Structure 1
């Protein structure tokens, strides 16, 4: 079947659904963390900036990248949001690393924002590093969103690097 362009409204529905899924994951993570701190330690320990960066990365960003990569790779090749609106990720060559690259790039703005906000909390946003990470994450977010919504083929940077494209279920990637 020939490829089809996905209307921006459909992509936004997909993104909104996946955003809700991520918020649900983060809510469960917060509840589990609070329960563990309360029941096991009886208090919330103080963490260094480095520890906080590692906790944020290893409990939120890395698992979400891995989960979304697995969903995008395994048939029917799409996250919950994509499946809800009848979309899927098509591959030039279907290989797991492509889904991982696609999602690592897609979630890089979130990680950059984490770095900036956490650094800012520890330095009261007095250091330029926090602002640089925060604003570069925000800029990259808008670049990726703009590419995904405004390009004729709907590809963002992650798709271009991975050789993937979001298409309606049953379609193929554009040449």
Structure 2
């Protein structure tokens, strides 16, 4: 069930995003340090990778674990950012699949950005594929942010597809009384 008018403040949403992205940046820094250490100690240097290998490494080591991690956190009560901002995820039907759909959509612009950047590095930014991925990434990112911050119900595309909504923790009782059917 979804509240038509969600009273989450812009400040709360920005706090949520800031804390969650600090967590992601921390993970990426640790991943970078571990990867570099592995390459230097095992191979003595950073090996060369093909475009496809680089795409797979970026997707499988950064995006996929973050999507799975945030899906699990959302399923179990909310990400660290949501908890810190006093928010939680409300479900039409609480399943891990719903949390996963939401997070796949939420992090899809990030994956498209990786694909565009990596393609650009390998093709000196002359590839149409890289430009399409980068442009699509930025457009989708803007759409998701705009929807999550400025729609009356504060739902982005992932929420709409997953049947979820970010709400204030204390507004749980209000949400169950004033809802719209999805």
TM-score (norm 1): 0.95
1:72 aligns with 2:62: no
1:22 aligns with 2:10: no
Runs of 4+ in 1 over 4 A off after TM superposition: none
Deviation, structure 1 residue 43:
0.9
CA RMSD of aligned residues (A): 1.3
1:36 aligns with 2:38: yes
TM-score (norm 2): 0.91
- Residue 51 of structure 1 is matched in structure 2 by 53
Report the 3-state secondary structure (helix = DSSP H, G, I; strand = E; otherwise coil) of the residue aligned with 1:78: coil
Q: What does 1:52-131 align with in structure 2 at a 5 Å threshold?
A: 52-74=54-76, 77-131=77-131
Say which of 3, 10, 13 aligns to 2:12: 10
Query: For 2:164 and 2:7, how far apart are their aligned partners in 1?
Result: 14
Query: For 1:5 and 1:42, how far apart are their aligned partners in 2?
Result: 55
Query: For 2:72 and 2:51, how far apart are their aligned partners in 1?
Result: 30
Say how many residue pairs are matched. 172
